Amino acid sequence: MTQAQAFSLQDSNDQDVAFPSGNPSVLCFVKEDCPTCNEIMPVLSAFYAAYADKLDFLLIGQTRDGNDTLIQRHGLTMPILDDSALKVSFAYDLDIVPTILLVDPDGEIISEQIGFVKADWQTFNDAVSKLLGVAAVDLDWNALPDWRPGCGSLSADPVIHDRLRAEAENSPLRARRIEIAPQDDEFEFMYDQGFSDGLPTVPPTPERVMRMLSGTRRDPQEVIATVPPNMGDATVEKIAINAVMAGCKPEYLPVVIAALQAACTDEFNIHGVMATTMGASPVMVVNGPIREQLGMNMKLGALGQGNRASNTIGRALRLTVRNVGGARPGGTERSTLGSPLKFTMCFPEWEERHPWDPMHVERGFDRNDSVVTLFAMTSGPALIVDQTSRTASQLAGSFGLCLEAMHHPRSHRAADAILVICPEHVDTLVRGGYSKADIRARIQEVTSRRALELAEDDITSVGIPRDRLDQMDEEAQNRRLPKFASEDNIHIVIAGADAGKFSGAFHGWAGGKIGSVPVSRKIGD
């Protein structure tokens, strides 16, 4: 037999009722909007009239207003205990109401009925009479249906259940809890407190955070990273809180965790990325099986709105950097113009749509690994329109000409770029026998300019300073300088719809030791 859980509740007369009392007891859990609960009220009233002076008959309702309604609707003389907090229903692990229990004087549950099955309730009636040594209640059982299904207990509602679990267990949640007044608008409150990026955020209630934490096996108090500029410790719990606010599902959490790990490395330099007046922001590219598992969009509109996984994962990273690290506009974030990339930018590579190695394999991972790669980008995607090139050489040349304008046509050898090639352009390149390496080489070829052509002049002072150029010998002045310091600075991914010859490019922030280096992290559990 199972031991019944002890509790204390107020009844409808505002009297405290403690269980167990040392007497035999009947516990019956009901709720007002359950048709079966209403149908059995005459049975419960008969039980109460016959047995109440011989045992503790405790009718337990799950909503305060609903309890009053039941009393008025059925003319009940028996009080109803108020379990509107649902803690007792949770402790008894209820799935269905009505649930009726017979408990002996030692607190052992000796009979349980769930829902209404007439034959079982007749057996229950006999069990009560046997325990008390009295005659069973004489009811017109023929007037009752043979069975009626019960309704779901409110304590089993997924949202409510998570809250109850967080309260009942030794909760893993340790973040500071902020209480707001009942009349406060929780969405406006989060705006006022500066938790938001300017768009509405989902309130991170304990139950939502608990549900988010179910997406990982990591300890909620594990410190994933120290986030500048405030050097805040980003625990799994705090990342989960921001993932809730961003609108993530629990299964997205491992991607956000891996992305934050990548962002907070010295190589990526998230503080510099967020603080520069140039307006840089992380761009996330996801590779591997997790793309399909999360339903990420790598096809039509891959870089835009409409996909929950892509949009909320990117947003969760930025909210974590903002709320844990303190990188906020007007504070340490000093972007001159800002950028839509500051809200979110995360997308997967359509690995299956091309014959080349996908990005994560190029970066040293196994093809079956799920990987997130972070880039510090200042703008994009800038559209590359070429609907007429029929050869791979022409098309890759178009890519180069468009990329030459990155930052400024005369600014060479300064940063990384992401080239996002659409499927129709992929087909042209593949027909021409081009690899990713060939594309990079062609871009470097068509963007190569003599130092003389990159010098400051009457048109612009951007470029090689005139006094520096004058110090060069003729050979140096005529040396050709490609747009990028290395082909490794050109990162190529494939995404987009099958129809449309429109590729795109993200323009990077400063590279190397003075700026940011792309960082990849394997996505774990």
DSSP 289-350: THHHHTT---STTTTSSS-HHHHHHHHHHHHHHHHTT---BTTTB--SS--GGGT--EEE--
**Residue 178 scores a pLDDT above 70:** yes
Domain limits, CATH 3.40.30.10, in the chain: 2-156
* 305 pLDDT tier (thresholds 50, 70, 90): very high
**Residue 517 scores a pLDDT above 90:** yes
- E-strand stretches of 13-106: 16-19, 25-30, 56-61, 80-82, 96-97, 99-103
* 181 pLDDT tier (thresholds 50, 70, 90): confident
C-alpha dist (Å) from residue 239 to 41, 165, 319, 503, 514: 48, 20, 9, 33, 28
pLDDT, tens digit (0-9, with 9 covering 90-100), for 316-366: 999 999 999 999 999 999 999 999 999 999 999 999 999 999 999 999 999
Strand-strand pairing, 281-287 and 16-19: unpaired
Dihedral sign from CA coordinates of 359, 270, 305, 421: negative
More confident residue, 172 or 4: 4
Rounded Cα distance between 322 and 104, Å, is 57
Q: What is the pLDDT of residue 1?
A: 61
The mean per-residue pLDDT over the stretch 447-472 comes to 93
pLDDT, tens digit (0-9, with 9 covering 90-100), for 390-421: 999 999 999 999 999 999 999 998 799 999 99
**Residue 195 scores a pLDDT above 90:** yes
**Residue 497 scores a pLDDT above 70:** yes
Q: What is the pLDDT of residue 72?
A: 95
Q: What does the buried/exposed string (b/e) look like for 35-74 if buried means 16 or more CB atoms within 10 Å of the residue's CB?
A: ebbbebbebbbebbebbeeebbbbbbbbbbebbeebbeee
Q: What is the pLDDT of residue 2?
A: 87
Among 316, 325, 307, 313, smallest CA distance to 285 is for 313
**Residue 211 scores a pLDDT above 70:** yes
Rounded Cα distance between 210 and 89, Å, is 19
Which residue's structure tokens are 């110090």? 471
Which residue's structure tokens are 């204390």? 8
Beta bridge partners of 9: 17
Contacts of 216 (CB under 8 A, 6+ apart): 236, 240, 253, 254, 257, 525
- CATH architecture of the domain with residue range 2-156: 3-Layer(aba) Sandwich (3.40)
Whole-number average pLDDT of the chain: 94
**Residue 369 scores a pLDDT above 90:** yes
C-alpha dist (Å) from residue 308 to 146, 211, 314, 356, 452: 47, 17, 10, 28, 49
The mean per-residue pLDDT over the stretch 183-208 comes to 93
Share of the chain above pLDDT 70, in %: 100
**Residue 151 scores a pLDDT above 70:** yes
pLDDT, tens digit (0-9, with 9 covering 90-100), for 57-70: 999 999 999 999 99
The mean per-residue pLDDT over the stretch 46-59 comes to 94
Q: Read off the pTM.
A: 0.76
Q: What is the pLDDT of residue 28?
A: 97
The mean per-residue pLDDT over the stretch 252-258 comes to 98
180 near 219, Cβ under 8 Å?
A: no
The mean per-residue pLDDT over the stretch 36-51 comes to 94
The mean per-residue pLDDT over the stretch 20-45 comes to 95
**Amino acid making up residue 204:** P
Q: What is the pLDDT of residue 451?
A: 92
* 161 pLDDT tier (thresholds 50, 70, 90): confident
Strand-strand pairing, 449-450 and 223-227: unpaired
Burial of 225 (0-12, 13-18, 19+ CB in 10 A): buried
Q: What is the dihedral of CA 202, 207, 210, 214, to 10 degrees?
A: -90
